[in-house]
Chains A and B, each alone.
Chain A
């Protein structure tokens, strides 16, 4: 961002102060994530940068914590990862189906009581998680689903649907309804129109909603803390236990894997967003 040549000195100084502030904020945002990488390769078990690491001594680095994560004795990560994926995948499927169908109804201009219904559908995102946790726990205990996978999956469907509803309604808000009318006038059945016209057009919104639902479920710990028994432990639960009791480098190895995963998800989400904008002709 170059300044015009006629800028006065004091504004020039102010401009550099502004850039410095911005840079520091960006560092504050992103730097903490990069502390985890090097420490997860540390040879020591203390979570500080040893003298050897500061000198970049190869002996100070090792992959032992990654080995411990995968093959370590009595380690909970295998079971936790399996549970996390099972729960997240089913919760995502549930949220996407319920959320997309609801979003189709909500975007219709005939929808009665739109405001209040939208507020109810979005509420799991706004209500503090601790309250959701307490309420869902009471429900699950009553119907006998506490400490089961089914219970956790249902809880995560509750938490995931608002994201799907929001992303799909956003996609549908730019939707040109004359294309479905055109299809109808050409003799297409409603089902056929939905599958061949509507669905391909809203796919980006559905997929990015699915990504949100997946991440929400995969990262959720508050509600699971209320619901999970020993058998249902998930990655966030294990991290939570680890962070509360003893911060071991194995947790950092897991954290590194999670950061890599979130980077992949971020890239996918960004690509989808741009594709969706291109299809809907926004910004063009």
Chain B
């Protein structure tokens, strides 16, 4: 008996298996080629620049390039006692070059940040070094100012040697590397960033909560009333969704101002006195009220699309089996909509955590979030590496939620409108 399986051949004599594989591979390549232009475009203009933020955030090359001889000479220094004559001589040589290039100020500034009091002694050094004699530099430099004889100042220089530093990341969580090279918290009064992160999380959390509390009932209403009414009411959700963000923020600025309609209404119903109108804008209240309204459609739409799939018969069945409306809601309806709650909440949270426009306009000083701080450092202080560091920390957080969202909902299930 012939046990060999006879190969099936196509008309041109090639085995079918090979022929099919070839065709599938061609299809694979075709599909990939269609995606390739966009993928390449995004990689070049978007993904790599985000990666570049990483190198920028840890970049500390400036001083490494400015004092090359010093750092080379310091390589074998044990940091216990004052460095050798060689180190002093190379430092002086480096410093001379910098003065000629008129860039010594940057080094002085950076070293002063590392160890207070550097700036002034470096200035004195410029004045005194003109009278220096050849040889015995160590003694002459120490003679300029006694701080040059303090080993901790030389340790500070050595600490700035590596071309990369995580200093910006530490700064973003209110920490610094102290004189002994340990990571410590900054003084009580100067801790601002931890507070800012916490406030961002707090605002994002409460905005998500408010959106859920308001979005759930109206999504339920939209999903259960007859089509002709729900289409009309849906416009109330979709119109804000399509309207310019700045327009919506502007309308909240008008409503919430001290002479605005919300305050008028409070005065009318006697909640507050006319001469004692509360400030509702330029603080956290403004941020909460405006952001919840702006992000509410992002909660309602996913909830609605899930609720639409829940059959009304299930609730009827629950009731007919003796459940009160509350019990059947809680035991039947609510569990069936949890996927919608998850999708909506994650979406709102992701958007809220990185919000910039609305907090900037109505948030005042106490309603500003981490995004506003990033923009501030990009535009005002021009500390781009710090802005990059904070941006990447925010990005990692958002990506973690995005990952959960992807696992839970699937990214291709995002519903738009």
Contact = CB atoms under 8 A, between A and B. Distances in A.
Among the interface residues A46, A105, A163, which one has the most CB atoms of the partner chain B within 10 A?
A105
A132 interface: yes
Contact of A138 (B32, B56, B354, B392): B56
Given A135-B46, A158-B45, A127 B398 contact: yes
- Chain B binding surface SS class: helix
Given A101-B37, A120-B47, A131-B50, A47 B257 contact: yes
B34 interface: yes
Among the interface residues B28, B225, B391, which one has the most CB atoms of the partner chain A within 10 A?
B391
B243 to A, nearest CB: 5
Interface string A143-180: 00000000000100110010101110110010000000
B391 A134 contact: yes
A108 interface: yes
A36 B217 CA distance: 27
Given A136-B46, A139-B49, A239-B250, A269 B242 contact: yes
B411 A35 contact: no
Contact of B251 (A36, A110, A129): A36
Given A11-B325, A124-B46, A134-B388, A48 B249 contact: no
A22 interface: yes
Contacts of A266: 235, 238-239, 242
A200 interface: no
A258 to B, nearest CB: 5
Nearest to B226: A1
Nearest to A34: B251
Interface string A18-52: 11011001101110110110010000001111000
A26 B246 contact: no
**In the complex, which range does the number of interface residues on chain A fall in?**
35 or more
Interface in B9-61: 24, 27-28, 30-39, 41-43, 45-50, 52-53, 56
B237 interface: yes
A183 to B, nearest CB: 17
A123 B224 CA distance: 34
Contact of B398 (A115, A126, A222, A258): A126
Contacts of B296: 25, 28-29
A255 B35 CA distance: 38
B357 A121 contact: no
Contacts of A226: 378
Contact of A98 (B41, B217, B250): B41
Given A126-B398, A265-B242, A269-B242, A105 B250 contact: no
A33 B32 contact: no
Given A36-B247, A127-B398, A131-B394, A30 B236 contact: yes
A139 B45 contact: yes
Given A130-B354, A163-B416, A244-B361, A98 B38 contact: yes
A54 B296 CA distance: 31
Given A110-B24, A130-B391, A240-B246, A101 B34 contact: yes
A255 B354 contact: no
B46 A132 contact: yes
A201 interface: no
Contacts of B261: 35, 49
B245 A219 contact: yes
A251 B250 contact: yes
Contacts of A117: 35, 39
Contacts of B293: 28-29, 32
B34 A102 contact: yes
A215 B239 contact: no
B251 A32 contact: yes
Contact of A33 (B27, B43, B239, B253): B239
A270 interface: yes
A79 interface: no
B177 to A, nearest CB: 25
B214 to A, nearest CB: 5
A92 B353 CA distance: 27
Contacts of B53: 131, 134-135, 138
A126 B416 contact: no
B242 to A, nearest CB: 4
19 contacts: A21-B217, A22-B218, A25-B218, A30-B239, A104-B34, A110-B27, A119-B402, A121-B39, A121-B42, A122-B411, A123-B402, A130-B371, A133-B375, A134-B388, A154-B45, A158-B46, A222-B357, A240-B357, A263-B239
Q: Which A-B residue pairs are the 8 nearest by beta carbons?
A: A128-B354, A105-B34, A108-B31, A105-B35, A102-B38, A32-B251, A135-B49, A139-B49
Interface of B: 24, 27-28, 30-39, 41-43, 45-50, 52-53, 56, 214-215, 217-218, 221, 224-225, 233, 235-240, 242-255, 257, 259-261, 264, 293, 296-297, 325, 350, 353-357, 360-361, 371, 374-375, 378, 387-388, 391-392, 394-395, 398, 402, 406, 411-412, 414, 416-417
Given A128-B395, A139-B49, A219-B245, 17 more contacts: A21-B217, A29-B236, A33-B240, A35-B251, A36-B251, A106-B35, A112-B31, A128-B354, A129-B354, A131-B53, A138-B56, A222-B357, A236-B244, A244-B361, A247-B253, A247-B254, A252-B254
